[in-house]
Amino acid sequence: MEWIQQLVNGISLGSIYALIALGYTMVYGIVKLINFAHGDVFMVGSFVGFYSITIFHLGFFPALLISMVVCAIFGVLVERIAYKPLRNATRIAALITAIGVSLLIEYTTIYARGAQPEAYPDNLLPFKNVEFFGVKISSQSLFILAISILLMVLLQFIVHKTKIGKAMRAVSHDMDAARLMGINVDNTISATFAIGSALAGAAGVIFGMYYTKIEPLMGIIPGLKAFVAAVLGGIGIIPGAMVGGLVLGVIESLVSASGYSLWRDGAAFVVLILILIFRPSGIFGKNVREKV
């Protein structure tokens, strides 16, 4: 029974990874950039949620919405200021810039408010354990899962049913052809960053609620793991990021449950290296032959 409980924990954790991974995968799919700063957008989202709850005494849902909106704006700003001038630069230059932006956000936050952690208020949502065939599942886990699924469904709707979603798919398929067809590529890329960052902001608030402790450097490890999740599912593929996140969360929980909790962080990177060696295109990816 304990295993099933761990499985449920893993799915909750995995859905947080999945939300962050979606932003990575969308951005990578469209501009081929590993947005290292994405983990820090997640951190910013968490803090925005925290401050709107503690200072403005808002409930959980308004805080979630505010955090998503602020993160969307923040993500677009980062893209416009740091990444847009580098659109034709080498991949390495863009990657180094992304690392720079990530560190800049982290240390500016520490500079502005100090490095001390904050405790998320834990009375936002009703907390009780639901008995389910003898398995105790906390209502929070279910709640997290529900919000994540809702956001993912919403994302699928945006990508497949709306005009901007169509533009995003077109740009990720072939940027130049999309531009020739009259699609405003710059705005589409900004929209991608906005949607991805909003999801990261939501993940930040959910993370804070679930783990109750947030700090300025909290984005690094979940960010990296979410990237692993995106690679695991096949980078650039939206359902891949969801599945990858869930799989990674479950793997981590199972590693913890088998008594190797100190190795939990290592497990994600072992998964990454294995997947990169044996199936670099990920679970859902197709092999693309390199053209000269």
Partner 1 sequence: MKKLTHGKGFWTAIVVVAILSALIQFLISGGTLNSFYVNTIFYIGINIILATSLHLIMGITGQFSIGHAGFLAVGAYASAIMTMKLDLPFPVAILAGGIAAGVAGLIIGIPSLRLKGDYLAIATLGFGEIVRITFLNIDYIGGASGMQVRHLTTWPWLVACVVLTVVVITNFTNSTHGRACISIRENEIAADAMGINTTYYKVAAFVIGSFFAGIAGALYAHNFYIIQPTNFGFLKSFDILIFVVLGGLGSMSGAVIAAILLTIISTFLQDYSETRMIIYSLVLIIMMLYRPQGLMGTKELTSLFKHRGTGKGGMPNDNKQTIA
Q: Which is nearer to partner 1, 96 or 170 (CB)?
A: 96
Element (H, E) at 73: helix 60-78
- Told to check if 150 binds partner 1 by CB under 8 A, we report no
Residue 129 CB, nearest approach to partner 1 (Å): 32
135 binds partner 1 (CB under 8 A): no
The residue within the footprint of partner 1, chosen from 90, 116, 123, 287 (CB under 8 A), is 90
Nearest residue (CB) to partner 1, 37 versus 183: 37
Please give the Cα distance from 211 to 170 (Å, whole number): 38
Instruction: For strands 118-119 and 213-214, give the pairing.
Output: antiparallel
Among 56, 111, 127, 157, binds partner 1 (CB under 8 A): 111
Stated as kind and residue range, the H or E segment containing 85 is: none
Q: Amino acid identity, residue 10?
A: G
Stretch that binds partner 1, among 124-132, 134-142, 243-251, 268-276 (CB under 8 A): 268-276
CB of 220 vs partner 1, minimal distance in Å: 7
- State the burial class of residue 95 (Cβ atoms within 10 Å of its Cβ: 0-12, 13-18, 19+): middle
* 87 vs 70: CA distance, rounded Å: 24
Candidates 9-17, 131-139, 240-248, 259-267; binding stretch for partner 1 (CB under 8 A):
259-267
Task: Select the residue interacting with partner 1 from 77, 99, 150, 153 (CB under 8 A).
Answer: 99
Number of residues that bind partner 1 (CB under 8 A): 44
Quick check: 108 binds partner 1 (CB under 8 A)?
yes
> Among 4, 86, 142, 170, which residue sits at the site for partner 1 (rule: CB under 8 A)?
86
Residues 6+ apart with CB under 8 A from 269: 224, 228
CB of 225 to partner 1, least distance (A): 10
What one-letter code names the amino acid at 263?
A: W
Q: Print the binding letters for residues 185-224 with partner 1: x by CB under 8 A, - otherwise.
A: -----------------------------------x---x
SS3 292: coil
DSSP label of 262: G
CB atoms within 10 A of CB 180: 9
| Residue of 198, 190, 152, 200 whose CA lies nearest to 168 | 190
Task: Give the residue with the Cβ less far from partner 1, 171 or 275.
Answer: 275
CA distance 146 to 130: 15
Query: Interface with partner 1 by CB under 8 A: which residues?
Result: 32, 34, 82, 85-86, 89-97, 99-104, 106-108, 110-111, 220, 224, 227-228, 231, 262-263, 265-266, 268-270, 272-273, 276-277, 280, 290, 292
